[in-house]
Amino acid sequence: MIQRIQTLYLLVIVILGTLLFFVPVIQLTTPSDAQVHRMFELGATGLDEVTPNMENLYLEEASLKGLWGLTLTTLLIPFLASVDIFLYRRRMLQARLNIFLALLCIGYYGILFMYVWFAKMNLGTEWHLCFWACIPLICFVLTLGATRRILKDEALVRAADRIR
């Protein structure tokens, strides 16, 4: 199981997906011409305010409702990759699950930018991508590589069965 390169790809996806849950991916800031400069970070755990120098300022609590989509997607990526590792005997099911995992990685960006749009409309902020926003893209590429290797293994097994 571990000697297959696709297992290593999937293991890296599990590690990166778990890391993605704990880091912010978008930084939201109020425009420079605003009265009070506020800074937020958006990640899988929600919207956190990280405004520096908040001395004696009464600010209303900013929030985005319903961040469960981002949380669920962030949790599903490493979970499905870890399940996928143990399906090494059922290669076609493993390949189908990999395709779903690749779609989930791309869907993460759709959900993320939907929340960014809501934040821009509701909070009046500008957004900036953090370095960690590239993790789902890396997972997408690794998933495609693992799928290619799984299908290559399946073709090799079918060719060996044909020879017998």
Q: Note the maximum CA span of the chain.
A: 80
Per-residue pLDDT of the chain (164 residues; tens, 9 = 90+): 556 888 999 999 999 999 999 999 998 888 776 677 778 888 888 777 777 665 544 445 555 666 788 899 999 999 999 999 998 888 899 999 999 999 999 999 999 988 888 888 877 788 888 899 999 999 999 999 999 999 998 888 888 877 76
Contact 77, 136 (CB under 8 A): yes
Q: What is the DSSP letter of 134?
A: G
Supply the pLDDT for residue 44. 85
Supply the pLDDT for residue 17. 94
Supply the pLDDT for residue 94. 92
Residues 6+ apart with CB under 8 A from 120: 28, 126, 127
Contact 131, 20 (CB under 8 A): no
Supply the pLDDT for residue 78. 95
- pTM, rounded to two decimals: 0.84
Supply the pLDDT for residue 58. 46
Supply the pLDDT for residue 56. 46
Q: Report how far apart, in Å, the C-alpha atoms of 60 and of each of 36, 56, 57, 129, 156 are.
A: 12, 13, 10, 25, 62
